[in-house]
Structure 1
């Protein structure tokens, strides 16, 4: 850019000398020369607007929007409304038909689609909200992944019932993405309270670690945007390791519960949720590569970065509509009863009968003690009541 300005100013000086030599350098010709000389400040401003990482203000962004942009905004709003409608309809079905222990977890897992849709739509209409939208998408997915783990445990009837129903040595750590290679020789683990708690911690670290990372990135971006761009890649190993360990934990859990929850469609529910992360990461990387490689056009004030983010967020919004439809079909299917409801163990049935009868038995014992101590008078019998009426 500096070389371009320098060459322009040199060309302007040579033009002055030619005019002065041939036309005598009158005042009129000097003013004409100034008018014809290239304006270096305007060249500087136009070139600075074409910087890859420059994001225009909201006022400049809306001034550059044409009919195609308005159509895009309208279609995005329609997509958000459709996702909200599907979510509310599915939530009503869950509240009416699902067992109580799974209602909250199911509603939270399904909430990832409307939240991501709203975040991406905000990034479409406000370009400088893209980083915040990315943080919300990442955080909501990680929290939903932990809620999916809790949902699988709730399908079993709780941790104690999960440990009782699965096979003793069915916890296999040789699953993807961390231990799927042939040289992995980790032994099978027993299913006990300690190992189930470790599985929970592997998944729980996802929202904690990702939240801390994005909080630091947002602070850098608020302090100075260039600081964020310089340090963004240094945080990616932490993000990737956290995601790999979290998915490893949920994969071990699903393989352990494959026989117990074979009618709960847990693999399909996990894939529909996992697609949110895969699409967000892969498409975000492709958008950045297209911007860095110069594939995106530059039409100030719309810079290549704005074009890349706009394509990414629009694609994500359309994909959230498709994933919400698939999730609605999965969560509206009939589910079998929870673990304790279909238990035929006679010892447990006897315990349930005793627990049901216990309050009435305690009430009778307390009433007898009160009658014996004289603190409570016994109710009159029907015969004595009839004698008093005759008298």
Structure 2
């Protein structure tokens, strides 16, 4: 009996060891699928797909920069100084995003920093765009004089559904100041959050995955507040300058959030259901990031062309010259 019990015990131990070994192999396979390779390994074992992706990404980035330079040249001819610098900053957001996407393909481990740079373009663009809107009417005080207390509706996207019950509001200095703070909280609030998330991601990836969901509501709330204030401001200035394509310019700014934040994160999770790439180092994560960033690069070229069209007006310098003559 004792020998039989010993045999059963040994057999059970062997099964447990085999199960542990299988679990370890499966865990190592999962880690190798989703881990970033060293830079030396990445370029040593580079595949034809990655090489072609780098070439295409470089060409798209050059194309985006070319569109940007053409747009800046056009703005320098058409705008006076008060509008020139904010307009140049606004059209500069898209080539910066393209460069960040290219760097992600060249250095895969830097993807979270580059994704933060893409996100930061909206945080920077929001306050600059608001400043540009009021420079179209010279200043906030001048806007209050020109409108003479005309009320403004608050039911604009992204809060159009939940703000139907809010009454019309007459703009004042205090209310415009609140609107300014709603926009300026984005770079301060979200900048701090993204800094903490970057530190966690590169120092302790396990802790990052445990706490990242707690940061998301604060980021969403900050974006919604800032976008809501900008939409209200666009509606206010459009009443005075409806021919300046302000909604089109606002749409170009919003596309940064939609394409570089929302789309990026959705695709990053959805592509995990597909089997991409091979074994480490050119694994599933490399293919996934490359596909997403190529898509972002193509979209940024299209958005740059849309922004170039939107910022063609006003043609301020030509009008001023004709008035002087």
TM-score tier by shorter-chain length is 0.7 to 0.9
Which residue of 205, 216, 222 corresponds with 1:225?
205
Q: CA deviation at 1:179?
A: 4.2
> Structure 1 residues 190 and 128, CA, compared in 2 at 3 Å: closer, same or farther?
same
| Distance in 2, Cα, partners of 1:318 & 1:334 | 28
Given the alignment of the two structures, is residue 146 of structure 1 paired with residue 127 of structure 2, yes or no?
A: yes
| Distance in 1, Cα, partners of 2:252 & 2:21 | 59
| Distance in 1, Cα, partners of 2:42 & 2:171 | 57
| Distance in 2, Cα, partners of 1:218 & 1:92 | 36
1:189-233 superposed Cα distances (whole Å, 9 cap, x missing partner) = 111211111111111111111111100001112321222222222
| Distance in 2, Cα, partners of 1:104 & 1:5 | 67
Which residue of 73, 96, 115 corresponds with 1:92?
73
Structure 2 counterpart of 1:184: 164
Aligned positions of 1:30-41 closer than 5 A: none
Larger helix proportion of the pair: 2
Which residue of 42, 60, 85 corresponds with 2:41?
60
| Distance in 1, Cα, partners of 2:213 & 2:290 | 22
Structure 1 unaligned spans of 5+ = 11-39, 342-391
Would you say how many aligned residue pairs link Structure 1 and Structure 2?
A: 305
Q: CA deviation at 1:307?
A: 2.4
SS at match of 2:243: coil
Structure 2 unaligned spans of 5+ = 1-14, 321-325
Structure 2 counterpart of 1:71: 52
Given the alignment of the two structures, is residue 169 of structure 1 paired with residue 150 of structure 2, yes or no?
A: yes
Work out whether residues 154 and 232 of structure 2, in 8 Å CA contact, stay in contact via their aligned partners in 1. yes
SS at match of 2:242: coil
Q: CA deviation at 1:287?
A: 2.1
Work out whether residues 264 and 335 of structure 1, in 8 Å CA contact, stay in contact via their aligned partners in 2. no
Work out whether residues 86 and 131 of structure 2, in 8 Å CA contact, stay in contact via their aligned partners in 1. yes
Structure 2 counterpart of 1:108: 89
> Structure 1 residues 5 and 117, CA, compared in 2 at 3 Å: closer, same or farther?
farther
Structure 1 counterpart of 2:245: 265
| Larger RCO (CA within 8 A; separation ≥ 6) | 2
| Distance in 2, Cα, partners of 1:44 & 1:239 | 35
Given the alignment of the two structures, is residue 6 of structure 1 paired with residue 5 of structure 2, yes or no?
A: no
Report which of the two structures shows the higher radius of gyration computed on alpha carbons.
1
SS at match of 2:170: coil
